[in-house]
A and B are shown apart, each in its own frame.
Chain A
């Protein structure tokens, strides 16, 4: 009897071992190269619950590699891997690099995957424009994850300075200059020193879509009706805004700002962090800023400490001579997740779809987006994310917990629940309630120049030279290194044509017309 029991036990044990080995052998290995949400925090820990769930329930051995911190380094790593035919199964890639890889045939078509992940397709990939951004020859070669929130940047003014000087929010460009001069010359901070300026900015262009001075000056171009590199209003007027006479007028207005010395003189050499350090130190009273960089508790605290009674308000952007205005251009922004042809050939598409779909359901979404429920966050009766009752160092927003949510960019889709959890209202030093989303809502209520179609304009081979020529000469115009008049401006446009502007416009127009963006 004992021998029989021993035999049965041994057989059962062996069966379990064989079964578990078989399950392990069935598991698919997937390697994802993803951008870190917080570059310094490192990947999720080895004992992360998501690994275990994915392994045991989805049959996937999931390996996560965090890409380098900058886009340039990411491109280098991906291009090197592509050249060695060593691309991972799924990877995040910027659109210019994606375009080259897709043309080289290194990416797998993903159209068929969409039906295999219905929830994710509905919540992540239902945007027609976003899909067009990852489509080449009518085939989707990438998954367009919802990127940064739209309309996040706008024109803001120091209300405490306006009140001190008895001024009102500027409604048009003339009033802007009046207020800017007062902020520069009338000591709005009352420290007895001539150390303030009307306006602060830095150069933040983004390639072909927003060449030249970049988004911190788009409100000026918007006031003249020429925000953004491209005019995508209709087929008839489609082309580079630089060809329009209003563009020259906008440049002349900005040159007037420089000549009047109402701008921080370092504006064209400031880096982003220096720019943000300066407004926190009270250097200027008007600027164009990102709502989160301006108003979240982490970003506001230095300004709050220095100026407890300081207050930035978000009025409508000043209107131009013909009554036009725009906070910025409205560009489509997606994070492209591409799947390698190598992964497709290895038969991994099904497993990739299964994993991505799991992330779009509540379990995966919550786990990747906010960490462990009950340990890092709680949900209130309305389903909102809250950290009430969670020790500070354990909260999902705490520094130590960032590895648990490093992949939140793969699940966040900018829902109300997410935004409320991410941008929490707080009290400033003087007891005022500051709500970051109030700034965002204000920005969103003002006009933007729609340029979403520009997102699908593919870069020409000489894109870098084109953008460099464009941007360098715009800078020379406004700082007075070359004259800014009808002739010099016409010569500059002719220079753009020599670099293939007309061919680029024709190709862009054809692409936008085919995609249904132009009538």
Chain B
């Protein structure tokens, strides 16, 4: 009797969990589906793009994608975004790893002081103007470094990584030292294979930030050839929107809603493709860094 009740309870519980997860999936999938449908919906008297959830094969168009991908600055902007994302993330990871490793070494002289020191800008953000002044004085205006260097080290990510490093068996480092390895060797050769989950996880955080970078480029980059993809896409959308000032047939071949949705898809896709590739490390990396302090 009790066993049968237990089995029923398990089935009931499983059904409830499945239903809940299906609901969560719907909450995520329906807006995404709507964005996809809107991006291929034509402008027509019967339906407003984006307000239908299903697209029929005879009423869809890739005009919005054609306009965005076919823009003559698209390839250059995408190239800049890729350079900033790869270069910035690599720099982020190297600097964050070095700082995190140093802070994870318990014998580091003045360790509490250094930990406190890097917490200060974390707690008291300097704000836009001081950052702008620093970037200007360093002569970084109109250089891609202006959007990479100011965010080279994220304090939260540093502490997550420090915790991960601190949780690694001390014996491993001791063994390496006994074999003649110094700190540089340990941090560059011994730790990375062991810390792959946290490196990939934090790398993803950094990469998403760089890929979506919008504000810093418009502030620091005056040269239009250095503008990354988010800035270009926004410019295209605004050009399509300001139709009382555009007196010729240049930018309205696709509905503005479709352009918006297509730009969302275009900017999301690269990160969405990368994520499954490192998903297996993601939970492990986040939890491992967050548990032990």
Quote the shortest CB–CB distance from B173 to chain A (angstroms). 45
Quote the shortest CB–CB distance from A273 to chain B (angstroms). 4
Task: Judge whether B251 and A76 touch: CB under 8 Å.
Answer: no
With contacts A70-B238, A306-B45 taken as known, whether A40 is within 8 angstroms of B251 at the C-beta atoms is yes
List of B residues within 8 angstroms of A68 by Cβ: 218, 231
With contacts A42-B73, A42-B224 taken as known, whether A277 is within 8 angstroms of B248 at the C-beta atoms is no
CA distance A148 to B136 in the complex (A): 35
Quote the shortest CB–CB distance from A302 to chain B (angstroms). 5
Quote the shortest CB–CB distance from A81 to chain B (angstroms). 8
The number of chain B residues touching the other chain, given as a range, is 35 or more
Task: Judge whether B48 and A40 touch: CB under 8 Å.
Answer: no
Task: Judge whether B256 and A298 touch: CB under 8 Å.
Answer: no
List of B residues within 8 angstroms of A280 by Cβ: 43
Chain B 246-277 near chain A by CB (<8 Å), digits 1 or 0 = 11111110011100000000000000000000
CA distance A296 to B246 in the complex (A): 9
List of A residues within 8 angstroms of B241 by Cβ: 272-273
Quote the shortest CB–CB distance from A248 to chain B (angstroms). 32
List of A residues within 8 angstroms of B239 by Cβ: 38-41, 69
Task: Judge whether B243 and A276 touch: CB under 8 Å.
Answer: yes
List of A residues within 8 angstroms of B292 by Cβ: none
The answer to whether the Cβ of B199 comes within 8 Å of any Cβ in the partner chain is no
The answer to whether the Cβ of A282 comes within 8 Å of any Cβ in the partner chain is yes
List of B residues within 8 angstroms of A490 by Cβ: none
The answer to whether the Cβ of A504 comes within 8 Å of any Cβ in the partner chain is no
B134 nearest in chain A by CB position: A84
CA distance A46 to B275 in the complex (A): 40
Chain B residues numbered 195-217 whose CB sits less than 8 Å from any CB in chain A: none
With contacts A84-B129, A273-B241 taken as known, whether A38 is within 8 angstroms of B246 at the C-beta atoms is yes
- Contact pick for B249, options A41, A43, A281, A298, CB 8 Å: A298
The answer to whether the Cβ of B179 comes within 8 Å of any Cβ in the partner chain is no
Task: Judge whether A40 and B235 touch: CB under 8 Å.
Answer: yes
The answer to whether the Cβ of B133 comes within 8 Å of any Cβ in the partner chain is yes
Quote the shortest CB–CB distance from B217 to chain A (angstroms). 9
Task: Judge whether A277 and B245 touch: CB under 8 Å.
Answer: no
CA distance A400 to B248 in the complex (A): 12
CA distance A33 to B223 in the complex (A): 11
23 A-B residue pairings within 8 Å (CB atoms): A40-B239, A65-B222, A69-B235, A69-B238, A73-B218, A80-B128, A86-B136, A86-B141, A277-B43, A277-B256, A281-B44, A282-B45, A290-B244, A292-B243, A292-B244, A293-B244, A296-B248, A298-B252, A299-B244, A301-B252, A399-B250, A399-B251, A423-B247
Q: List residues of B whose CB falls within 8 A of some A CB.
A: 43-46, 48-49, 71-73, 128-129, 132-133, 136, 141, 218-219, 222-224, 231-232, 234-236, 238-252, 255-257
Extra inter-chain contacts (6) besides given A39-B236, A40-B238, CB under 8 Å? A37-B245, A43-B224, A70-B238, A76-B128, A77-B218, A273-B241
